[in-house]
Amino acid sequence: MDPVSVSIVVARPREEVFDYLSDIANHAEFTDHFLGEFRLTRENTVGKGAGARFRVKAPFQRFSWAGVSFIDVESPRRIVEAGRGGKFNRVRLMTTFTLEPHAGDTTKVELTTETEPATLSDKIAEALGARSWTRRQNKRALRRLRSILEEDKGRGHRATIAGG
């Protein structure tokens, strides 16, 4: 799937938004409407190498587990996560959060998601509405992110480590 980008302006300083997003355990709070059953892949949930596995709640999704890890964390500007999902984890995933200063003490957050299907069947499955579904879910996730950071409302469950 070609890159799908959505953006929103959050009335918080860029460093504060970055600190929140650089902890992958926080991602479960604003994406739990389409990503569920978060499982952290290591104890340190902040910065490069932090990762999680989760179930994608997409329609007609037979192989719904995916996993991502932070591969590039440039404070306070950019976070890149890469991973795999789908059947046999053959679909590559890439998500980028770009944070730019905006008017006053606000931050423009841009979220870009792209996938690289491995087989014809994966490409066909994506062609059946994955792009528009992804855009809708990411827009809602950014609205929830803004609500959490500005008003401390709409928090989902934060991912934790088993037994911790």
* 112 or 120, greater pLDDT: 112
Is the distance from CB of 68 to CB of 83 less than 8 angstroms?
Answer: yes
* Closest to 55 in 3D by CA, of 41, 65, 68: 65
Dist. CA 138–CA 4, nearest whole Å: 9
For 114-131, the pLDDT digits (tens) are 988 888 877 877 777 788
* 128 or 100, greater pLDDT: 100
What is the predicted pLDDT for the residue at 162?
A: 61
Is the distance from CB of 57 to CB of 34 less than 8 angstroms?
Answer: yes
What is the predicted pLDDT for the residue at 163?
A: 53
Q: What percent of the chain has pLDDT over 90?
A: 68
Res. 110 pLDDT band, cuts 50 70 90: very high
Q: Where are the domains of the chain?
A: 4-151
Is the distance from CB of 139 to CB of 31 less than 8 angstroms?
Answer: no
* 91 or 110, greater pLDDT: 110
pLDDT of 164 over the 60 cut: no
What is the predicted pLDDT for the residue at 120?
A: 87
DSSP per-residue string spanning 25-76: GGHHHHHTTTEEEEEESSS--BSTT-EEEEEE--TT-SS-EEEEEEEEEETT
Enter the CATH code of domain 4-151: 3.30.530.20
For 125-159, the pLDDT digits (tens) are 777 778 899 999 999 999 999 999 999 887 877 77
* 103 or 160, greater pLDDT: 103
